[in-house]
Structures are given as structure tokens and as C-alpha cells.
Structure 1
Amino acid sequence: MCAGVDGVGLGCIRFGRSVQSAKAFRRGVAALSPPGGNELAGETVAVEEPAMTVQKRVLTDVRAGRWLDEYDSAADQTLLIDDSLRVRKRRLYGGKSDGVDVIVLQSGTLSVWLLPTRGMGVWKALCGDVDLSWQSPVEFPVHPALVDLQDRGGLGWLNGFNELLCRCGLSFNGPPGVDRRPLPGGGVAESTVTLHGRIANIPAHHVEIEVGGLGEEVSVIGMVEEASMFGPRMQLSARYTVRKGSEVLEIEDEVVNLGGQPAELELLYHINLGPPLLGHGARVVGPFRTVCPRDVRAAEDVATWNEYRGPTPGYAEQVYFMDFDAEQEAVEPLLIDPRGQRAFGVRFDPRQLPCFTLWKNTQLEADGYVTGLEPATNYPNFIGFEREQGRVRILQPGDAFQCRLELRPYLSEQAVAEAVERSGGEQPRVLSAPTLPYAPAAT
């Protein structure tokens, strides 16, 4: 079992407000690079905190013009870090991966490959010998400079899509099209939006390691800015943390509106899994309140919305939208393998991420046999529809949105059974057709 019941988890944490002043909670440039320029690439800085010392190592700092192409915490004599934890960085060369930075974060038997060059996404993960990712037709990480988001009518995002975890946003996600947004003073602003937004194809401008807890926890922190002249300016701060004795990957994100005008926010976590967890007879469980098919195609198999086929020639994707009871503070949808011996959980606070999407894409393995467990601020409908339903968040200047997730592997039959019992929930209300407010009603 990789994720123990008694491990460090969200069950021990009470979540705060999702949106608040950035002054109250902000890991921005000022926090990562304090006045005086003490945090230079190649130096370790110890920051005193009550009852512990936080050690930091900067790997990339675009503003200071400093970076490390390669790094290994095991060879860093200045970092006090437990032997079970390790951080390595290297740069890929050749092909479409040329110039892509990869950071491997390890805790015990868990290894996670992070991609600072691709919006701080997670490329893949292993727990022991179990692959926790999927096999995309896009075999290697693709440098964002080679991804034309406008390709194929706005579907170019798919040309670089192969991650275990990929963020969709920040200004929009969902399908491409022409967005007609009402202006506060009257009139309409038209803009072309592309599939799932820009953030996954923007490189991080600041990346650092933080070691705390007497060397028994390590974080990789990256900052990515999505900005445009005459457009929004938002900054993502993404923190990945692992701890000694736990193979849980903790994720803490903050999005800050750095601009002078209110900014729209849509954020979806596209968490993607394939074999061996996915296979004929695999299933999804969770404390869902309602299940709604996205479209007519999804409605065809709504009776088996949580069950999976094996690889199927000619299969067309099916998508289902879910929500949760308002009083829940933490939920953990699970993908359970066909034998019930392994599972993968995504644990989060539905008050922060109230919308959940299940993406089923059981086509042939050569074409991408995969499912997506997708917590989000919104459903991945076109942004105009989501705006009408009140699911597009507004960040005032200086405000921030924060959320937390955990990715949790379970690798024994007993661990899976315990996770299913904890996940709980009654049978959800299953709608037979696309229904407002979840999806545009079928016509």
C-alpha cells in the first residue's frame, strides 16, 4: 500500500477560503526572492521558522538570469534531507523535447516527473513498479514553442498532451470557439479561445526546492505567469510536496490576479490514467450527488457511466459531469483496477473545486487508452455557457484563488477496500440526458 490511512493527508487539514486577498496568502516573487537577492542559483538559503529551518535551493530564476541545467539533492552537501527523499533535475535535448526541463521528485517508492517548462504539469509517476500515468500517442514532452494552440481549429493543445496531470486554464478551458463577452460599460468583446487554455504551454519563470520538517519533507515550487498586453495578467504558484514515509503527492496551488482589472478564472485539473489501473471492468467510485452526461454520445451509455470497456476500435469519447453535497469538506473519487487490487485517488475540497468531470476514452491503446479524473472550478463546457451558469470566477486586482489536492495510490486489496469505504457516498442521481445547469440541454 502506497497511501496509508494514517499518512499525512487532507483528513488532518481544515481548508480555508478559496478566494482572499493576496496579501494574506501569497507565495509570489517577493516571497520566493526576498529583498537583497540572497537566493541565487547555486546557493542554499536557510530561512528560520518556528521550531524548524526551511532550506531553499533555486533552480531557475529568470529575473536574476540564473538557472541550473542539472541538479541532484543526493550530491548537495549543503542540504539536510532525509535519505528517503530526493530531487533531481535535468534538461532534455533533441526532438520536440529539446529544452524541456524535467524534475524528478522522490519519496520512498514514489517517483514523480514534473515539467516546469510545461506549466508545472506532472508528466508521469511510478509507485514501486506500478505505472500511474498513461501512454499517449505524444510519446515525449513537447516544448511549448512547438505547440500551435490554433492548430486544427483551436485543438492544437492536443499536440503536446501526454501528462498525468495537466492544468487547463487560467482564463478559460473547454472547447475552442469565439467568445462574446459582455463589457461592463456596454457592448461585447469578441475573442478566440482555444482548447483548454494556455497555462500548460507556458514555462515557469521561477523554480525552487524547499526542504522543511527537519529534512523530512521536500517541495518543488514553480511560478508561471499567464499575461498579455490588453489582457489578463495572472500568476500560478504551484507547490508539490512529498514527505518521509508517505507516497502521497500533495499539491497546493495559488492563482493571483496581478493586473489592475478584474480577471476571469477557470481552472481544471486534467488527471489522466491508463493501464494497469485502467482496463476492462475497471470502475470509478466517489461521493457524487449528481451525474449528468455532457452530450448525446455520453447519454448512450449513461447506465454504465462508472464502468470501463477494454480498448475498443472506433470508440468516441464519453464525458460525464458530477457534483457533491455542499457540506462536504473533502472528497476522494477513486479509479479502481479490474481486480480491485489497485486504485488511484484524487482527494480535494469540493468547496474549492466544486465541479468534477469524468472523461472516458477507451479507444485502442495505440491511439491513447485513457480516462480523466478532473476536479475543477467549472465544467469544461464552452466559456460562454459556463459564464451564464455563474461558474466563471472573478478575481479582483490583487486577489488570489487557492486550492489543494492529493494524488494517492493504493496498491493492495485491503488498501483499496479501506479507501472505498472512506470515499463513501450514496448512489448518485443519474440524469439520462444533458441537463441544465450542468450541460447545454439536448436539442
Structure 2
Amino acid sequence: MRLYGKDWTRREIEARVGRMEQIGGLRRYKLSEGLEAGTEIVEVRTGTGLRYLISPSKGLDIGLAEWKGIPISWQSPNGDVNPAYYESNGKEWLRTASGGLLMTCGLTHIGAPESTPSVQGLHGRIHHTPASQICAVTEWIEDEYCYRIAGVMEETSIFGDKLRLHRTISGRLGDSRIVIDDRVENAGFRPALHRILYHFNFGFPLLSETADIQLPAAERSAVVPGTPLEGFDSWCAPDAWVGEKVYYHRLLDEASDIRKMAEASIRNIDFPAGALTVRLRWSADTLPMLVQWKMPGACEHVLGLEPANGPFNGPGTDVASYSLEPGQAVKYKLEVSLDIVE
């Protein structure tokens, strides 16, 4: 294990602590107040300064993420609302979405509400779907202390689609990296529409006027026609009257090679704990589009970088292109890593 600037064996580390949680590991608990009451949390500490919260109550999505006590993610004004308060119609998703490092959108709908072929609210239901078969374990693998959090989310209905999301979030002590391995399967006996978008949310103080935003090679366009592309890769001070901008970045062939992971990054030389680069990487073969949500408002001061399996649902969407056959499954891999220069 590489920790505190040195290499250690398992026995050398164990000789120096009462239990491994002195350095890092997992802790599970429930929130107890207001609309958050009952929301389950798994706290992850990696021993490097990276700490983040996973919610089994909300699709094993990732809430607050921080480096040495300083946030890198954006929190919504709603907090970690218990999913029991979720209303699926229209844009009510906005009242209970938690923000945090990751909100998963799907599994059959992403984007604005629509009523065809069935009624679908903003960004689908999966962010508000509790996990089952939850596993949160730590173990030594030779001289590496590893952790794994896993579970299953189901989006099903009588006479409707029957999709299952199997998720594993993993890492190891001494490593400032989060690895997400997802598998979505059609457990039904008819073709099922499958849409997914990984809504990563970055915020202050990682985001400031000195932040450098790098996105992969892509064909770029605005979701709202006529929106200028200038400034998609820059940031500004909060403005209460600024409007959100959303862009599509369709990965070019060299970025979407099946052998590669696509990458986007945010670097800020003025981050309080030292120059910090946060890298987001994802499997470009199954997530060939990056959706960018630029919202430098007041309170809503957030940059969304959102790998997706295609553009938002809506008129003209080729449903057949996003269908899973009975028994078919698709895999997604994503990583968030931190590079520090103190």
C-alpha cells in the first residue's frame, strides 16, 4: 500500500493502528432530520484526503465528495431527500434531486418530461430508486486494503419494461480514485427502451474563475438551437440572472475507440489545498456522448459533466437504437480521480 508518501506491507500498517478505520474505510448510517430522515449513507474515507458519501436509498448515487475537508462536488438546496418524497410527474424531480458528485438518470428516460410513448418525468426514476442486495465490504488483497459497495436497482412495471441496474463502486486505501462498474440488463421478455446519463456535478471551490475545463475531442452543439458555443470551456463568478446552457459533445472516432476511456478534466491552481485536477473518465464505446450542463448561477452554481448513451429522449429519437433485447445486458465503466500538487 502506498500511503503518506511511503510503501507499506499489510502487517506494517496493522502494527501501527488499533483498527483500519483509524486510517480509512467504510461506515454506514442513517440521516435523522427533516426530509432527509431515513436516508441511508455509506461514508467512504480513502486515507488520502478523499472522502465521499454513497446513498443506497438513492440508487447508490454519490453525494458530497471532498478533498481534505474541502468540497469538489455541488450540493443541491434539497439536501439528501428521502426518496419517499419523490414525485415522478413533470419537473418535480428538481424538488428531490440531491446533487452531489453523481446523480444517475434513466433507466428508460433522460432529459425533459414527455408523454409519449408513456408519461415520463424529468430525467427518469433511477436516482430515486433504493438499492437492494446491498454489500459494503473491506478486505485485504495481498498488501492492498480494498473496499467495495454494491447493490441492485430495479425499474419495472406490470405489462411494462423490466430493467435491472447492477452497480459496484470500488477503490482502495491510499488511492484517490473512485471506480464505478455498472451493468444494465433487460430481465423481461420483450425489447425494452434503455437510456442512461451519469449526471456528475462539480462545484465551488473547485469551480472558480481560474478553473481550466478540458473536454474530449467531439462534435459540439447546443441543445437549444441558436445558443452560442463560445465559453463552454470557461467559468465565471455567480450571477443570479444567468441562464443555464446545455451542450452535446458527440465523441469523435479517436475519442470513442473501444480500447479507450474518454476523459474530461477540471484543473484549478487556486484550490485551497493545493493545485487540483479532477479527472472524469468513462467507457466511450457504451457512452459515446458527453452532455454538459453549464449553470454559473447563484446557489445553482454548478458544472454538470454527464456521459450518456445518447441525446435526450424526445421527438425524433431512434428508439430502436436504445433498446435492449430480452436477456441482453450492457456494461458501463466510469472513474473519478484526483491529482494533487500541494
Query: Shorter-chain TM-score category?
Result: 0.7 to 0.9
Question: Which residue matches 2:247?
Answer: 320
Partner of 1:333, secondary structure, is strand
Question: Which residue matches 2:55?
Answer: 115
Between the aligned partners of 2:69 and 2:37, the Cα distance in structure 1 is 28
* Aligned-partner residue type, residue 302 of structure 2: V
Question: Which residue matches 1:307?
Answer: 234
Q: Normalising by structure 2, report the TM-score.
A: 0.86
Q: Is 1:168 paired with 2:100?
A: no
Following superposition of structure 1 onto structure 2, how do residues 347-426 of structure 1 map, counting pairs within 5 Å? 347-364=281-298, 366=299, 368-379=300-311, 381-387=312-318, 392-412=321-341
* Aligned-partner residue type, residue 224 of structure 1: M
Between the aligned partners of 2:137 and 2:269, the Cα distance in structure 1 is 38
* Aligned-partner residue type, residue 372 of structure 1: G
Following superposition of structure 1 onto structure 2, how do residues 78-117 of structure 1 map, counting pairs within 5 Å? 84-108=23-47, 109-117=49-57
Between the aligned partners of 2:28 and 2:137, the Cα distance in structure 1 is 14
Between the aligned partners of 1:98 and 1:149, the Cα distance in structure 2 is 20
What's the CA shift string for 1:260-303, capped at 9, x where partnerless? Answer: 1111110100000110111224232132222111114632xx12
Question: Which residue matches 1:157?
Answer: 93
CA contact (8 A) 2:237 2:296 kept: yes
Q: Which runs of 4+ in 1 moved over 6 A?
A: none
Question: Which residue matches 2:67?
Answer: 127
Q: Normalising by structure 1, report the TM-score.
A: 0.67
CA contact (8 A) 1:127 1:247 kept: no
Q: Which has the higher contact order (CA 8 A, sep 6+)?
A: 1
Partner of 1:173, secondary structure, is coil
Following superposition of structure 1 onto structure 2, how do residues 59-70 of structure 1 map, counting pairs within 5 Å? none
Query: 1:104 deviation in Å?
Result: 0.6
CA contact (8 A) 1:279 1:338 kept: no
Between the aligned partners of 1:221 and 1:192, the Cα distance in structure 2 is 30
Q: Which runs of 5+ in 1 are unaligned?
A: 3-73, 180-189, 414-443
Q: Which runs of 5+ in 2 are unaligned?
A: 3-16
CA RMSD of aligned residues (A): 2.2
Question: Which residue matches 1:289?
Answer: 218
Q: Which has the larger radius of gyration?
A: 1
What's the CA shift string for 1:357-413, capped at 9, x where partnerless? Answer: 11100111x3x210101111012x33443326x6x4221111111111101122328
Between the aligned partners of 2:313 and 2:191, the Cα distance in structure 1 is 20
What's the CA shift string for 1:113-148, capped at 9, x where partnerless? Answer: 00110111101111223312113221x211111111
Question: Which residue matches 1:31?
Answer: none
Question: Which residue matches 2:264?
Answer: 333
Question: Which residue matches 1:219?
Answer: 148
Between the aligned partners of 1:82 and 1:201, the Cα distance in structure 2 is 30
Query: 1:82 deviation in Å?
Result: 8.3
* Aligned-partner residue type, residue 221 of structure 1: A
CA contact (8 A) 2:266 2:279 kept: yes
* Aligned-partner residue type, residue 158 of structure 1: L
Between the aligned partners of 2:294 and 2:268, the Cα distance in structure 1 is 14
Query: 1:149 deviation in Å?
Result: 1.9
Query: 1:338 deviation in Å?
Result: 6.5
* Aligned-partner residue type, residue 160 of structure 1: T
Between the aligned partners of 2:41 and 2:251, the Cα distance in structure 1 is 35
**Count of residue correspondences:** 316
* Aligned-partner residue type, residue 242 of structure 1: G
Between the aligned partners of 2:203 and 2:174, the Cα distance in structure 1 is 26
Q: Is 1:203 paired with 2:130?
A: yes
Between the aligned partners of 1:260 and 1:384, the Cα distance in structure 2 is 26
Partner of 1:303, secondary structure, is coil
Q: Higher strand proportion, which one?
A: 2
* Aligned-partner residue type, residue 128 of structure 2: N
Q: Higher helix proportion, which one?
A: 1
Partner of 1:332, secondary structure, is strand
